[in-house]
Amino acid sequence: MALSIFDIFKIGIGPSSSHTVGPMWAGHRFLNDLREKGILNSITSVRVGLYGSLALTGKGHNTDKAALLGLAGYRPDNIDPDAADQAFEDIVNKGVLKLAGEQEVSFNYDTQMIFHYGEELEHPNGMRIYAADQNGIVVYYKTYLSVGGGFIICADEFNAPAGQGGQVNSGAPTVPYEFKSAAELLALCTEHNLTIAELALANEKALAGGDMEAVNAKIDAIWDVMRNCIERGLRMEGALPVSNMQRRASVMYKQLMANPEAMLKDHFAIMDWVTLFAMAVNEENACGGRVVTAPTNGAAGIIPAVLAYYTRFNDSSEQGVRDFLATAAAIGMLYKMNATISGAEAGCQAEVGSACSMAAGALAAVLGATVHQVENAAEIGMEHNLGMTCDPIDGLVQVPCIERNGMAAIKAITATRMAMRGDGNHAVSLDSCIETMYRTGLDLQSKYRETSTGGLAVFAKPQCVA
């Protein structure tokens, strides 16, 4: 199966795609297996094991909560974020979990939610779920790997060679313009005289059985969620969970709104707005709110911020928004197919770097760039994030994540502008930059890959301001 735009952009809840959205889907998949085997109603207890980064940063990323809510039958794309907290507390406090909302099983959080610190499965984000019958005998268990962006695969799928159900894009062609690299994508665009968005949308139409209206409606829904997330983030006040740090987007928003004339004199005021849009989304994400993986939750603010820059500060159109998201998704697919979008696999360059690259290319596309300038913008967007580590303080997707999204959104716009000043010719291809990111990520010590055992997570000291 070829990747879809909606594999890259998925509606979910914060704070993490790999640590929250993925584990919730894993719980869901486990329920489906129990149903298929006809044993759901004979299960009397379950146990969840978290491994690698899911164990080390699972509490800060709500992995435990997500896995249990998935087993209770909730889905990331339609769960009410406000109801999620209460549902989780009920499970922990009452010691009862209703599998799929129907089969009551006992659940002792202290003994049945196990954080395997220091142990890793086939991937840095591993989890295993066990189901036992009334005799206490484990009648079914499954290992899941959360490989970034909310994608969940079973361990056997991860190990299968390409073409035998292994990782993404291993099946027969199902789209008119199949591509696996940026070079192939550009060649197809040139050969068929298509923009990247036109190509991606033609593929999406084929995946949707020819129903272009349905595709457009789904893309519009993605933008709606992104836009609502910005709006909510601008208004919400108070503290972020666990850290109790104050939210800043609403403060910045009030400052900007209080003095709109200043924008006429300050040429960089637009940068403040873009930074604000990104931070608003990531504060919502940190609070477990409704966000779109773009391509992950930790990096969820960059693409909405740059798209909001396009709609608010440029001549924009409804089709332009669709083209933006289609182009961004096509670039995101290159990262997903040839490298990774998982911070646990390759550090923050894989999350924020990929999002910056996607946003830069997409913005160039809707501002009228050639496909080669788009590729150039996407390459610049990644090149200057290479080597960026993932070291969230206390395992929370807050510091450095929230500010980092603002910085990357600005960087994406700069990358677009640099590329559009050129003619598309440039020294480093997007393909080689993607490969460099991946290989650099593999070289990173695990303490810099979403384990909160290095970098800021270890050396940052609290700062008191009088």
Q: Which is nearer to ligand SF4, 383 or 391 (CB)?
A: 391
Between β-strands 45-52 and 125-132, what pairing exists: parallel, antiparallel or unpaired?
antiparallel
Q: Which residue is nearest to ligand SF4 (CB)?
A: 298
Q: Closest separation between CB of residue 242 and ligand SF4, Å?
A: 14
- Least separation, in Å, of the C-beta of 370 and ligand SF4? 31
- Nearer of residues 145 and 196 to ligand SF4, judged by Cβ: 145
Question: What is the spatial distance between Cα 312 and Cα 346, in angstroms, rounded to a whole number?
Answer: 34
Q: Which is nearer to ligand SF4, 21 or 390 (CB)?
A: 390
Give the nearer residue to ligand SF4 in terms of CB position, either 323 or 351.
351
- Return the structure tokens found at 88: 């989780």
Q: At its nearest, how many Å lie between ligand SF4 and the CB of residue 147?
A: 14
CA distance 278 to 300: 8
Residues in touch with ligand SF4 (CB under 6 A): 298-299, 343, 348, 351-352, 390, 392, 397, 400-401, 404, 450
Contact 281, 405 (CB under 8 A): yes
Supply the minimum distance, in Å, between the C-beta of residue 146 and ligand SF4.
13
Q: Please classify residue 9 by burial: count the beta carbons closer than 10 Å to its beta carbon, then call 0-12 exposed, 13-18 middle and 19+ buried.
A: buried
User: Rounded to an integer, what distance in angstroms lies between the CA atom of residue 351 and that of residue 348?
Assistant: 5
Output 71 or 397, the one with its CB closest to ligand SF4. 397
Between 318-338 and 354-366, two packed helices, what is the crossing angle to 10 degrees? Answer: 140
φ and ψ at residue 97, rounded to 5 degrees:
-125, 130
Helix (H) or strand (E) segment spanning residue 225: helix 212-235
Closest to ligand SF4 by CB, 201 or 444: 444
Among 364, 352, 228, residue whose Cα is nearest residue 300: 352
Compute the least distance from the CB of residue 390 to ligand SF4, in Å: 3
> Which one, 52 or 392, has the nearer CB to ligand SF4?
392
- The answer to whether 204 touches 176, Cβ cutoff 8 Å, is no
In the bound complex, what is the minimum distance in angstroms from residue 374's beta carbon to ligand SF4? 24
Amino acid identity at 136: G
Smallest separation, CB 400 to ligand SF4 (Å):
6
